[in-house]
Amino acid sequence: MGNSVHPDTDESAIVDAAIAKLLQAHPPARTETQELLGAVFDSGLAWIHFPVGIGGLGLSTVLHQYVYSSLTAAGVPDYISETPIGYGMAGPTIAEHGTEAQIAHHLRRIFTGEFVWCQLFSEPGAGSDLASLSTRAVPTGDGWLVNGQKVWTTLGHLAQYGLLVARTDPDALKHQGLTYFLLDMTLPGVEVRPLRQMSGDAEFNEVYLSDVLVPDSARIGGVGEGWGVAMTTLANERLVLGATTPRHGGAIDEALALWSAREDKTSAAARVLRDRLLDLWIRDDVAWLTGARAAQRRESGPGPEGSVSKIARSSINQQTYELCADLRGAASLIYSAAAALDGTAQPGYMFLRSRAQSIEGGSSEVLRDVVAHRVLGLPPSHRPDKGIPWNEVPRS
Amino acid sequence: MGNSVHPDTDESAIVDAAIAKLLQAHPPARTETQELLGAVFDSGLAWIHFPVGIGGLGLSTVLHQYVYSSLTAAGVPDYISETPIGYGMAGPTIAEHGTEAQIAHHLRRIFTGEFVWCQLFSEPGAGSDLASLSTRAVPTGDGWLVNGQKVWTTLGHLAQYGLLVARTDPDALKHQGLTYFLLDMTLPGVEVRPLRQMSGDAEFNEVYLSDVLVPDSARIGGVGEGWGVAMTTLANERLVLGATTPRHGGAIDEALALWSAREDKTSAAARVLRDRLLDLWIRDDVAWLTGARAAQRRESGPGPEGSVSKIARSSINQQTYELCADLRGAASLIYSAAAALDGTAQPGYMFLRSRAQSIEGGSSEVLRDVVAHRVLGLPPSHRPDKGIPWNEVPRS
Amino acid sequence: MRLVFTEEQEELRRSVRRLLEKTSASRELRQVIDSDLGYDPEVWALMADQMGLQGLAIPEEFGGSGYGWMEQVAVLEEMGAVLLCSPYFASVILSATMLLSIDDPEARRDLLPGIAGGQSIATVAFTEDDGRWHDAPIRTTARPGDGVWCLDGHKTYVLDGMTANLILVVAATPGGASLFAVDARSPGLVRTPLETLDQTRRLARLELRGTPARLIGAEGAAKAALARTLDLACMAIAAEQVGGAQRCLDMSVEYAKTRVQFGQPIGTFQVIKHKCADMLLEVESARSAAYYAGWAAGEDPEALPAAASLAKAYCSRAYCHVAAENIQIHGGIGFTWEHDAHLYFKRAKASELLFGDAGEHRELLADRLGIESLRLGGGRIDA
Amino acid sequence: MRLVFTEEQEELRRSVRRLLEKTSASRELRQVIDSDLGYDPEVWALMADQMGLQGLAIPEEFGGSGYGWMEQVAVLEEMGAVLLCSPYFASVILSATMLLSIDDPEARRDLLPGIAGGQSIATVAFTEDDGRWHDAPIRTTARPGDGVWCLDGHKTYVLDGMTANLILVVAATPGGASLFAVDARSPGLVRTPLETLDQTRRLARLELRGTPARLIGAEGAAKAALARTLDLACMAIAAEQVGGAQRCLDMSVEYAKTRVQFGQPIGTFQVIKHKCADMLLEVESARSAAYYAGWAAGEDPEALPAAASLAKAYCSRAYCHVAAENIQIHGGIGFTWEHDAHLYFKRAKASELLFGDAGEHRELLADRLGIESLRLGGGRIDA
């Protein structure tokens, strides 16, 4: 992992020029949001590594974070936080695998937030083992008839479109019988139900698909090639996720605030809390530095190092929010699940919410397997489902 | 794990009477060691769970610890610490599987320390996977011709006898081709070489066996039944190991002594060391209590709970001795490997020595597997060596 | 030292388990959580009438059965296992202990039989807004009035403060921290329910505005009684924690055996196996600590303060860790509102925070014993 | 902030690696460990003559090449990877930095060229028997004599104190902590080798009995210079730690791929895989911390003290953990004297203890920045 890459000065110049031109032509303070975001897209600053003409400048991803910081600092709305799935997953997937018509129809609208997207991958029976999913898409005269259940669907209740992976060939090996669709969520038979989680709110949804008739024009990638397309979606997810946490922000900032507000700073028990805080502060900063270093090293696209960051982050966050609970002491006994359902902010929410961070988007256990195989080259373990058609593999 | 057993009052009465009679007839202060230990054996207090006549009283093991504490407190030499392998491994193995002649020849001499024993199980290629061992015993007219290499042989340089497991049938499954011998270490072809470890001393040995001719009368258990006999040896090992650490002794006592001797007890860094000390003190005491509880629960013989204790103990010891190093601070930079080789006691020795505790006698990884299977009933993992003759299994 | 149960004690445990399995399984738990009252009066009555649980450790002269603390440990372990929602802890552990720790025969005769029989639900109100459990300054005051005392101030984190009909309030008099009995219907008492992290244990905040109260024991007697009550409360909550932690382990092992991913039960994955093995290690260790504290409570009162802090410190961390691992092993489903895993996780954290967290109890342990006496042969804990 | 190397810096790293692979592999390491001298003068000369490593970061006017600290980080990482036994750290990192941190042009002209060229081996003697590294009281005294100063006292844990020909001693004068140059052949200097835990880094104890010495800079100038030297030493040792930790990971991965138990390479066991993945996480994290400190040393001196403590705290723990796991993964063989695993383990612990352990540096970090300023946007470390 020795070789390093640093931003090409030509790329910096191109990007700086594009930003300057954009901000001059469309001063953020005096431009309506949709128009402004449309202009960002048109100037190629939406996804700088996309080809020119579809939101990009044909550059590497090295300056991705720089562009994002520069634009949001200049007053452009936070297009990543506001359309995380559209920006981070749908956009790159469509850019790479979509037809011209799909690219033309979707990309600009994704970036401006006109189309909200959700992801329809996980199922109750397919969590870590995503490729074992059971939602069926059966060809009909007019397209595909889809039946199944998806779960953990963020933004499902608001989305116009969903990134759907379904099984089109149950007799094939599990990775080979999948096909990927850009699902219109307004189609008949799509039912979205809120899914309440332990923190009390319903951030996620279950999506029931009952005889949904999907036109073949919604298919992206070939029949049976859904797994490869899904890999593009997931690989790009992390490029985006890391970008939004500022240094010393989030969990550690909350812990420091609680420490500052604390009366007892000198008792023996307080000293020990303080050391936990310092240890976590260091680990948090080191994780941030690792992200920054990875971004500087990255020439093109995300690599498996993202898995390492996610393992570290979820663990640091969980421990830091637990420290926050301890710093608040008895006050942490109070919590309103009802307020959480209403969306009211309250201390203790992230203590609960953070438990999901080591599960969602790839559990820490699965990610460690990935790191061991893809980064360290350790030999694969025995897999009883290997080389066996999907419909012959045991499932729970 | 709900049901509990407590000492039968009859057993207490029997044991107390035997102890009283022994101490009256053979006052430890005025009795020569060999004679005294012989008398302990003859009164059935050596291994109370053995049959009467061969060192036991035919009782359960519940009062084992009580007898040991009572006798050593009364001045009987510490027969467990001084003959750990003889007492803990050879004795129970011979008592259970030996012929009358073997029992008569060995048991009393084991207890009195006349015969020192070592264990010849591990090999360079067979560590965690003990049953894959390669030392061969080939039948000859007069007995068995043994060739191979053993390693990690504590007391090998002093032992008259060794507990030897060797492969007698390479075409059988790995657990089924083994045979167990009581090896006379003075036979021609037995060569013992010291093995130096990271702490600088040579506590262990390598034992090279070159064309050693072993009479069939040294065999214990049937041909091909060596694995079952070895399991007896290993299961009994733990009954003995736990018995010798007093509450709050060992590592935690050293840490407390270092804390007491420390000048700086109030700086922020010292406070944090203090909390580590308290945390480890609690974990140490809880481990001791768990051992005491297990002993009170145990009706007959050792169970897999011993694995849990060993995992906990090795981790607590390693962390406590590392704390000792930190408490000593810069002074821990000094260490003499030469002094360790000479057997001179010095601080820091156990910091190094304790690293082996999570490896020797079953690594923590193997023990967690054992706990998961035998205590929790989790399903076995795939084993490529299962159902395959030993000589067809890959080895490094 | 005796860390195992007699056959009679085990039989008691089995009876309690049978009762709770029949009356307080997951479905009933959800109903009680969502109910106004926060506990099931029918189950409460069964506990009292069929099994005499409320009076288990209360002396016979006050209507109880006079059993020891190890029986209580067995009962609490089973209650913790099912997250029983009931005022048992407040009424039986806190209140009865408080009354038995203060020399006031008349108050005992008046108040204990109701607690022992389950007709009366009592609680102890001692913590104030600063959230301190140990040696906290008492700002609630008591002044002598016309035949009765009058209390002013507030109390919070009062266990089952809304359902209790008898509230034992610690308040300051010129003679020091003193205990007062307050009828829940008294004028000047305003009770507010708190929304709690732990959905299975209700808390309330009380305001006292000239509330009439009866002095229990002598003025200044509450300090020592409260210290002893807290020790026993820590021992008791450790027993609950062991029960809850064991249940988390059981849930994880069961799920690992049945949930299939990658064509095999996830329990065949070595990392899941090792997680479960480590959970077992912590549960068994926690059990040893809790039983030791239970033994000390009955047989070695001098060792109790340290043993209680030891158990509270260890069991709190073990339960939190095991409950978090249980969610992790369950994956997404373990994170949903519908699954019980989070109820255990919240109970684990809340019961760590109640009566002082692990760090605080490590310090209490050292303070109580003196760190020097932790050395070999030096400590009373060696008992 | 720049946390990656340029192609030129990577080329330097590769050259150093090639040299060390050729001259300082495991076999040579064992020979040097057992030698009287404790380093290989031929390798030392190659480092100086072929590559100019000793003068890498020393300004050109004093015979060096004037490179920056990131180059030094790359070099130290490679040296740490092979546990290079050499007085490089003492002479180049400690001594040259000390001389460059004190305003004494003449001393620089006299002493730095020898260090830069490798002809002179220097060290800094500052710690005394109390074993304190930071803000320690200086009990060694200097009194002005006949044209020279005379030193009395002792110093210990002096890196390469036996092989150095030039010893820079911190001693107290009425003007405060001051720096003195002592020729190793001076009368009144008694040097005693210490037997060390870390077999790859030699230490000595010095006694000074009226030892003649030359004052460097002004009286009282050593305090600030020593603080800066310690910061850079922490940064430098963190770079070494990263190299050593990476090598432990490499050894473990290699062994896991080749060692067969139960009919399969142990690297197929998920628990071994996850151990290695966690080791990678720690190594990569440590690398980030060390490179950040290296960047701060060159580009943001104000951020250096905190960055150095951050790196020393994190890298120390990471290396210790990774070195211990390396032994565990190797099993019995990893515990033998013959295997190199223990040399890394000892180096890891010793380099944590040198210049203050992780706990001490966490506190230093907070003291230096003020815990308040650790908040978002509040700290200079945000740079």
pLDDT above 60: residue B1 = no
Q: How far apart are CA C332 and CA A123, in angstroms?
A: 10
Q: Which residue has the higher pLDDT, B7 or B10?
A: B10
Alpha carbons within 13 angstroms on the beta-carbon side of residue C137 total 4
Cβ count near A343 (within 10 Å): 9
At D319, list the tokens: 């290396």
Mean pLDDT of chain B: 91
Short-list A216, A221, A209, A208, CA closest to A144: A216
Q: Do D271 and C269 touch (CB under 8 A)?
A: no
Q: How far apart are CA D182 and CA D158, in angstroms?
A: 14
Of A271, A381, A384, nearest to B271 by CB-CB distance is: A271
In order, the DSSP letters of C73-101 are: HHHHHHHHHTT--STHIIIIIIIHHHHHT
Euclidean distance between the first and the last CA atom of chain A, given in angstroms as a whole number: 40
SS3 content of chain C, % helix, strand, coil (to 5): 55, 15, 30
Q: How far apart are CA D40 and CA D86, in angstroms?
A: 7
User: Which range among B59-73, C284-298, D217-231, D260-274 shows the weakest confidence by mean pLDDT?
Assistant: B59-73
A259 near D CB under 8 A:
yes
Three-class SS of residue A213?
Answer: strand
Q: Do A334 and C198 touch (CB under 8 A)?
A: no
pLDDT at C378: 42
Q: How far apart are CA D362 and CA A357, in angstroms?
A: 27
At D132, list the tokens: 């304190």
pLDDT above 80: residue C126 = yes
Q: How far apart are CA A366 and CA A128, in angstroms?
A: 7
Q: Is residue C284 within 8 Å of B289, Cβ to Cβ?
A: no
B343: left (phi over 0), alpha (psi -120 to 50) or beta: left
Domain spanning B117-224, CATH architecture: Beta Barrel (2.40)
- Quick one: what percent of chain A has pLDDT higher than 70? 94
- Give the domain ranges of chain A: 10-112, 117-224, 245-375
Confidence of residue B391 (pLDDT cuts 50, 70, 90): very high
Cβ count near A361 (within 10 Å): 18
Chain D residue with the nearest C-alpha to that of A281: D374
Q: Is residue B155 within 8 Å of B129, Cβ to Cβ?
A: no
Short-list D382, D235, D383, CA closest to D310: D235
Query: How far is C-alpha C127 from the chain's CA centre?
Result: 15
> How far is residue B31 from each of residues B39, B76, B77, B80, measured CA to CA in Å?
10, 10, 11, 19
Q: Is residue B138 within 8 Å of B209, Cβ to Cβ?
A: no
Identify the residue among D335, D345, D352 best suited for mutation to test binding to B, counting B beta carbons within 10 A and taking the highest.
D335
Q: Read off the pLDDT of each residue in C312-334 and give the average, rounded to a whole number.
A: 98
Three-class SS of residue D230?
Answer: helix
Q: Do D259 and B338 touch (CB under 8 A)?
A: no
Short-list D99, D90, D96, D150, CA closest to D125: D90
Chain B residue with the nearest C-alpha to that of C360: B275
Short-list B87, B4, B5, CA closest to B40: B87
Interface of D with C in 243-302 (CB under 8 A): 269-271, 274
Q: How far apart are CA D219 and CA D263, in angstroms?
A: 69
Identify the residue among C252, C274, C275, C322 best suited for mutation to test binding to B, counting B beta carbons within 10 A and taking the highest.
C274
Chain D residue with the nearest C-alpha to that of A381: D268
Contacting chains of B (3 CB pairs or more, <8 Å) are A, C, D
- Distance from C162 to chain D by nearest Cα, in Å? 41
In order, the DSSP letters of C16-52 are: HHHHHHHHSSHHHHHHHHHSSSSS-HHHHHHHHHTT-
Interface of B with C in 197-256 (CB under 8 A): 246-249, 252-253, 256
Look up residue D5 and give its DSSP letter. -
Q: How far apart are CA C38 and CA C204, in angstroms?
A: 12
Q: How buried is residue D315: exposed, middle or buried, by Cβ count under 10 Å (0-12/13-18/19+)?
A: buried
- Distance from B21 to chain C by nearest Cα, in Å? 26
pLDDT at A303: 58
What are the backbone angles phi and psi of residue B160, rounded to the nearest 5°?
Answer: -85, -30
Q: How far apart are CA C220 and CA C231, in angstroms?
A: 19
> Residue B152: its chain D contacts at CB < 8 A?
332
Q: D57-66 burial string, b = 16+ CB within 10 Å, else e?
A: bbbeebbbbe
Domain spanning B10-112, CATH architecture: Orthogonal Bundle (1.10)
> Residue D379: its chain A contacts at CB < 8 A?
248
What are the backbone angles phi and psi of residue C341, rounded to the nearest 5°?
Answer: -55, -40
Mean pLDDT of chain C: 95
pLDDT above 70: residue C112 = yes
Of D253, D362, D366, nearest to A376 by CB-CB distance is: D253
Confidence of residue B245 (pLDDT cuts 50, 70, 90): low
Q: Is residue C268 within 8 Å of A382, Cβ to Cβ?
A: no
pLDDT at B297: 75
- Distance from C359 to chain D by nearest Cα, in Å? 17
> Residue C276: its chain B contacts at CB < 8 A?
372, 376, 378
pLDDT at C31: 97
pLDDT at C371: 75
Three-class SS of residue D161?
Answer: coil
> Residue C319: its chain A contacts at CB < 8 A?
none
B272 near D CB under 8 A:
yes
Short-list A111, A108, A87, A104, CA closest to A163: A87
Q: Do A360 and C198 touch (CB under 8 A)?
A: no
pLDDT at C133: 95
Alpha carbons within 13 angstroms on the beta-carbon side of residue A255 total 30
Which are the contacts of A95, defined by CB distance < 8 A and separation ≥ 6?
A47, A50, A51, A54, A55, A56, A103, A107
Which are the contacts of A170, defined by CB distance < 8 A and separation ≥ 6?
A136, A177, A389, A390, A391
Euclidean distance between the first and the last CA atom of chain C, given in angstroms as a whole number: 8
CA dihedral A31, A36, A42, A45 (to 10 degrees): 120
Q: What is the CATH number of domain B245-375?
A: 1.20.140.10
Short-list A347, A153, A395, A204, CA closest to C336: A204
pLDDT tens for each residue of chain A, 396 residues long: 233 334 556 889 999 999 999 999 999 999 999 999 999 999 999 999 999 999 999 998 878 888 998 999 999 999 988 888 999 999 999 999 999 999 999 999 999 999 999 999 999 999 889 999 999 999 998 899 999 999 999 999 999 999 999 999 999 999 999 999 999 999 999 999 999 999 999 999 999 999 999 999 999 999 999 999 999 998 877 666 555 567 888 899 999 999 999 999 988 889 999 999 999 999 999 999 998 888 777 654 555 667 788 899 999 999 999 999 999 999 999 999 999 999 999 999 999 999 999 999 889 999 999 999 999 999 998 888 999 999 999 887
User: Which range among A142-156, B59-73, C268-282 shows the weakest confidence by mean pLDDT?
Assistant: B59-73
> Residue D132: its chain B contacts at CB < 8 A?
330
Of B268, B359, B383, nearest to D332 by CB-CB distance is: B359
At A339, list the tokens: 């307020």
Q: How far apart are CA B6 and CA B8, in angstroms?
A: 6
Three-class SS of residue C1?
Answer: coil
Cβ count near A379 (within 10 Å): 15
Identify the residue among D12, D284, D300 best suited for mutation to test binding to A, counting A beta carbons within 10 A and taking the highest.
D284
Chain B residues with CB under 8 Å of a chain A CB are: 268, 271-272, 274-275, 381-382, 384
SS3 content of chain A, % helix, strand, coil (to 5): 50, 15, 35
Q: Read off the pLDDT of each residue in B185-195 and give the average, rounded to a whole number.
A: 97
Which are the contacts of B352, defined by CB distance < 8 A and separation ≥ 6?
B198, B199, B200, B335, D342, D346
Q: Is residue C197 within 8 Å of C345, Cβ to Cβ?
A: no
pLDDT at D379: 38
At D76, list the tokens: 């130290």
Look up residue B104 and give its DSSP letter. H
Q: Read off the pLDDT of each residue in B119-147 and give the average, rounded to a whole number.
A: 94
pLDDT tens for each residue of chain D, 383 residues long: 889 999 999 999 999 999 999 999 999 999 999 999 999 999 999 999 999 999 999 999 999 999 999 999 999 999 999 999 999 999 999 999 999 999 999 999 999 999 999 999 999 999 999 999 998 999 999 999 888 999 999 999 999 999 999 999 999 999 999 999 999 999 999 999 999 999 999 999 999 999 999 999 999 999 999 999 999 999 999 999 999 999 999 999 999 999 999 999 999 999 999 999 999 999 999 999 999 999 999 999 999 999 999 999 999 999 999 999 999 999 999 999 999 999 999 999 999 999 999 999 999 999 887 776 776 544 333 33
Q: How far apart are CA D378 and CA D383, in angstroms?
A: 10
Alpha carbons within 13 angstroms on the beta-carbon side of residue D235 total 31
- Distance from C281 to chain B by nearest Cα, in Å? 6
The catalytic residue positions of B are: 237
Between strands D122-125 and C260-261, the pairing is: unpaired
